[in-house]
Structure 1
Amino acid sequence: MADMKQEVKNIDEQQSFAVSNQSDPKNLQELTQYIQTLLQQTQDKFQAMSEQIITRIDEMGTRIDDLEKNISDLMTQAGVEGPDK
């Protein structure tokens, strides 16, 4: 969880730096480019966060499967029958 917060913070800092390095738009074309850049950065940030969330969900699913198997093995060793699936 702390890793994800740190990565989000890093992305925020990168985005802030990129936006602050651009001069204020002086005409419609510069404003359009500025907004497109900002939207692209936001989309990239959202995509990175989505991928992190999906990865974490997959990891949790694997851990749950392992935990279920370990519990089943322990129940078998203890001579207790588990619920039928």
Structure 2
Amino acid sequence: MQDKFQTMSDQIIGQLDDMSCRIDDLEKNIADLMTQAGVEELEGENKAPAATNKS
């Protein structure tokens, strides 16, 4: 029973590590796309500059 629990635990930890790497890659890709689009981060937040009202 202990071996089964340890095996499942190891699998979950492995999946979490994989998910963490994927999230890191996704964040990097988003930052690269924002840079290419000319969007800059405002005060450390991930927000695009507000659009001006052209009325």
TM bin, normalised by shorter chain, reads 0.7 to 0.9
Q: Any residues of structure 2 matched to 1:42-57 within 5 Å, and which?
A: 42-57=1-16
Of 63, 66, 77, which aligns to 2:36? 77
**Shift of the alpha carbon at 1:82?**
2.6
Instruction: After the TM superposition, list the runs of 4 or more consecutive aligned residues in structure 1 that deviate by more than 6 angstroms.
Output: none
Larger radius of gyration: 1
Work out which structure has the larger RCO, using CA pairs closer than 8 Å and 6 or more positions apart in sequence. Answer: 1
What CA RMSD, in Å, does the superposition of the two structures yield over aligned residues?
1.2
Q: Percent identity?
A: 68
- Figure out how many residues of one structure are paired with residues of the other and give that number: 44
Provide, for residues 3-25 of structure 1, a one-character-per-residue CA deviation record: whole Å limited to 9, x for no partner: xxxxxxxxxxxxxxxxxxxxxxx
User: In 2, distance between residues paired with 1:69 and 1:52?
Assistant: 26
Q: TM-score by structure 1 length?
A: 0.49
Q: Following the alignment from structure 1 to structure 2, what is the Cα–Cα distance between the partners of residues 66 and 51?
A: 23
Structure 2 unaligned regions, length at least 5: 46-55
Contact kept in structure 2, 1:72 and 1:82, CA below 8 Å: no
Normalising by structure 2, we get a TM-score of 0.75
